[in-house]
Structure 1
Amino acid sequence: MTRIRIDAVLVQAVIAGALSFAHLHDLAEAAGQDGWKAWAYPVSVDLLLVAAWRRMRTTADNRAAWVWFVIALAASLGANVATAGLLDLDDVPAWLRILVAGWPALAFLGGTLLVHSPAAAPVQPEPVPVSAPPAAPVPEPAPDVTVERAPDPAPELPSAPAAETVPTPVPAPVPAPVAVPPALLDHARKLADTHQSTTGTRIDSATLRARLGIPAHLADAITAQLA
């Protein structure tokens, strides 16, 4: 359920508007405007007051709106003061009757000017000048330089064929003597004697190598010493 919230400012505005409305009605009726015409005067004053206020809020040049706002405020405030006992409502002066009678035309003129007057055009910001891009530097012409060309070299003459040389044969390298340990040599000699007594032939390097499990060059050296 929506709860109704009472606004003190709104209540104050309603009370002030009702009192001002009643004072304007009483003054218009005392000035000879009876019936519905007396009720139309406060409506006219309040509408002009509201129109001038809205014009001031929406227009930059609001001098005319201020003029009509002051006129409507003076009419409302004057009625409040006049009905406070300072004016005999049973004997209203002639100038006040004239003002009350001429108010409809004045209110119509003010409302028309406020509604139909052109609004001030918004101030357009000045365009910011766009700086032109810097011009590309013009290349300076290159100075004329004369380059002297070196003379072409003389063509080389074909050289005479060299005499054929006979390559000198390179002697084969003599292998260095292999040192055989004496114990190994004695053991190899025993194997050689046993092989010769068994087969009737001297032991060769391959057999000696297989029997002793030694490299080929060492087997060759031992075979040469056993010969």
Structure 2
Amino acid sequence: MRAYLARVDAVLVQAVIAAALSFAHLHDLASAAGQAGWKAWAYPVSVDLLLVAAWKRLRSGSSKAAGWCWFIVALAASLGANVATAGLLDLADVPDWLRILVAGWPAVAFLGGTLLAHTAPTPEPASVAAEPEAAGAPAAPDLEPKLPAPHVPAALVAHARKLADEHRARTGSPMDTPTLRARLGVPAPLADAIAAHL
């Protein structure tokens, strides 16, 4: 148990350090691209929230295409900021294209977050039916019309009984309804009605 806790603690410490560094890189890049004050702090929150929302969608097991799309977009923004602040980019003279990307990020993040939040996965029909039943709601009525059982003439029942007796004498087992239907050449509902009389 102690080894497990030590491993969990190490993972948590690593995650906190990585998150803090990534957060700082996103803040620094936003600040260098002209986003001052609270705006520069909002960028890392926006990127991380989109990343978490996309990961949650991926873990839900459905609508994975949307989850992967926005996960990759958010991961590219995070990785891009981390790499850009590694000394490869002069933060005192940020290129215009990067300023445009940073300025456009809120619209992209808003779109992604909205689509992830408001396009909930479509539940399976069986699970929808199970949910009302679990909640105590009455099951949906069977809308398929119930046809009356067909009238079976006595002569047809007598003929079917003769065929069934011959089948039992030959095979040693009773004749099933599909075989009876095939021997008589009648539709399934009529075969069911005949079998009920045998």
Q: TM-score, normalised by structure 2?
A: 0.60
Structure 1, unpaired ranges of 5+: 126-135, 141-227
- C-alpha offsets along residues 24-66 of structure 1, whole Å, 9 cap, x if unaligned? 0000000000111100000000000000000011132310110
Q: Which has the higher helix share?
A: 2
User: How far did residue 123 of structure 1 move?
Assistant: 6.9
Runs of 4+ off more than 2 Å: 120-125, 136-140
1:37-116 aligned at under 5 Å gives the runs: 37-116=39-118
Cα distance in 1, alignment partners of residues 125 and 60 from structure 2: 14
Partner of 1:9: 11
RMSD: 2.1
Equivalent residue number for residue 149 of structure 1: none
Kindly provide the CA deviation profile for residues 4-25 of structure 1, in whole angstroms up to 9, marking residues without a partner as x.
x551111100000000000000
1:76 shift after superposition: 0.3
| Runs of 5+ unmatched residues, structure 2 | 128-156, 163-198
**Whole-angstrom CA distance in 1 between matches of 2:44 and 2:113:** 15
Distance of 2:161 and 2:37 partners within structure 1: 96
- The percent of aligned pairs where both chains have the same amino acid is 72
Mapped contact 1:56–1:62 kept (Cα < 8 A) = yes
What does residue range 135-154 of structure 1 map to in structure 2 within 5 Å? 138-140=160-162
Q: In structure 2, do the counterparts of structure 1 residues 94 and 8 end up closer, same or farther at CA, with 3 Å as the change threshold?
A: same
| CA distance in structure 2 between the aligned counterparts of 1:50 and 1:10, rounded to whole angstroms | 16
Matched residues in 2 for 1:88 and 1:82: separation? 9
For residue 107 of structure 1, give the secondary structure of its aligned residue in structure 2: helix
Answer with 1 or 2: which has the greater Rg. 1
TM-score (norm 1): 0.53
Any idea what SS the aligned residue of 1:41 has? helix
